[in-house]
Amino acid sequence: MFEENSQNILLRIKSELLWLGYNPNMKEFIANRVLQAMIFPKRTLQSRYFITNLGADKIIMVWFPMNVLFMSKSFNVPIEIFFMKNFPFEPPQIFIELVQGRAINRKNENIDINTRRIMTNTLRNWHQFSNIEDVMNEIFESFSNNFPIYKVNQNNSSNNKTNIIKPTNKIANLSTNTNNKTEIINSANKIVDLENRIKELEESMKEKDIMINNLKNEIQKLSLKNNQLNIENNNISEKLNKIMLESNEQINKKEKLIKQYELKISKFSFEFSPGENAISIILISSNENIISSFICKNTDNFNFIENKFYEKYSEYKGLDNNFILNGRKIDKNKSLYENKIKNNDIITIFN
């Protein structure tokens, strides 16, 4: 008798199905149907399952004590459910178990009195998705309406023994041989232990797979981040190149401005002739080198000199130029003489 929870029973049944040769693709389905028969609620005793022979096949058989009311009393009527090798494509074969001094009630039309086989509507119209619970309900209803067995006189019991025919002559041995049962249970225990170890290994493999996937995800994230950093680096490089180009342009502009500035810091040096009406030579220089000259009178004012200068250097025209002599500003409206220009004086132009 199995005093354990349904999950453990289910594991044992599945392990039995593996070596009994049932359809491996239907293992889960068959195991659930066997368990469904075992845990059917109309019972007061614990149901059991065994491995038995049916011809050349070893199959699973469930022994189920169906609790039925008869004349206001409760009776346990044991039935045997044989799950054929081709189950669920073939219906289970169900028999009523008889003990000495009991016979089949002929009024119950669902039981064959010669073979003790039970037939219900669901069994007659069986298909692979038929529900074993529906069969059990039909048997319970049949037994409740027409109690399936009755007590016979001891004198007639020998005559009735011919009716107590098991489906195979091995069943009685399996039902009473304790050593065989113990061996089967021990074997089932070993198989369940192996299945549990396999499950533990599978769980461990799943955890490792999860870790590997997590590592792959991390690597992928790092790769994406690295790509982003490369893109950012490229963007920074482009910006730096742009800044460098702009800087170079600005440097070039500054150099040009410096050159222009150098031109603007031009100096007028004079070879001054004394006297108001004398003629002087104005030398225009840049970076201490004489680049041009022209002659003017001492009476010419600086506006005249400035215009002369612009004739040669038009780029200076329009600028607000200041003429500085020894730190003082020259008055453009006054003449060289009035501005007290002396020989070798140097006037610097600033704008």
pLDDT tens string 165-177: 333 333 333 333 3
Give the residue numbers spanning the domain of 324.
267-350
The shares of helix, strand and coil residues in the chain, as percent rounded to the nearest 5, are 45, 25, 30
In this structure, are 167 and 38 located in the same domain?
yes
In this structure, are 16 and 153 located in the same domain?
yes
Domain at 326, CATH number:
3.10.20
Report the DSSP pairing between strands 102-104 and 93-96. Answer: unpaired
- Residue that terminates a domain, selected from 155, 176, 197: 176
Gap between the Cα atoms of 162 and 152, Å rounded = 14
Given this model, what pLDDT does residue 168 score?
Answer: 32
Question: Is 58 a domain residue?
Answer: yes
Question: Is 183 a domain residue?
Answer: no
Question: Is 86 a domain residue?
Answer: yes
- Residue that terminates a domain, selected from 148, 176, 204: 176
Over residues 266-279, mean pLDDT:
66
Under a CB-based contact definition with an 8 Å cutoff, are residues 77 and 68 in contact? yes
Domain at 102, CATH number:
3.10.110.10
Question: Is 27 a domain residue?
Answer: yes
pLDDT tens string 32-66: 999 989 988 888 778 888 898 877 888 999 999 99
Closest Cα to residue 35, out of 57, 12, 66?
12
In this structure, are 290 and 327 located in the same domain?
yes
Share of the chain above pLDDT 90, in %: 22
In this structure, are 330 and 273 located in the same domain?
yes
Report the DSSP pairing between strands 149-151 and 289-297. Answer: unpaired
Under a CB-based contact definition with an 8 Å cutoff, are residues 65 and 139 in contact? no
Task: Match 């009035």 to its residue by tokens.
Answer: 338
In this structure, are 97 and 239 located in the same domain?
no
Q: What would the DSSP string read from start to end of 214-276?
A: HHHHHHHHHHHHHHHHHHHHHHHHHHHHHHHHHHHHHHHHHHHHHHHHHHHS-EEEEEPPSST
Strand, coil or helix: 96: strand
Query: How far does CA 31 lie from the centroid of its chain?
Result: 33
Question: Is 318 a domain residue?
Answer: yes
Under a CB-based contact definition with an 8 Å cutoff, are residues 83 and 60 in contact? yes
Q: What would the DSSP string read from start to end of 142-184?
A: HHHHS-SEEE--HHHHHHHGGG---SSTTHHHHHH-HHHHHHH
In this structure, are 166 and 19 located in the same domain?
yes
pLDDT at 9 over 60: yes
Q: How confident is the model at residue 241 (pLDDT cuts 50, 70, 90)?
A: confident
Question: Is 85 a domain residue?
Answer: yes
pLDDT at 2 over 60: no
Question: Is 140 a domain residue?
Answer: yes
pLDDT tens string 126-155: 999 999 999 999 999 999 999 999 888 765
In this structure, are 141 and 194 located in the same domain?
no
In this structure, are 61 and 102 located in the same domain?
yes
pLDDT tens string 115-126: 999 999 999 999
Question: Is 182 a domain residue?
Answer: no
In this structure, are 96 and 58 located in the same domain?
yes
Overall domain count for the chain: 3
In this structure, are 102 and 168 located in the same domain?
yes
- Residue that terminates a domain, selected from 122, 152, 176: 176
Q: How many CB atoms lie within 10 A of CB 205?
A: 10
b/e map of 271-295 (b: 16 or more CB within 10 Å)? ebeeeeeeebebebeeeeeeeeeee
In this structure, are 320 and 244 located in the same domain?
no
Our CA dihedral for 300, 305, 306, 309, rounded to 10 degrees, sits at 160
Tokens representing 98?
């008889």
Q: What is the pTM of this model?
A: 0.46
In this structure, are 88 and 214 located in the same domain?
no
Query: Phi then psi for 293, rounded to 5 degrees?
Result: -160, 155
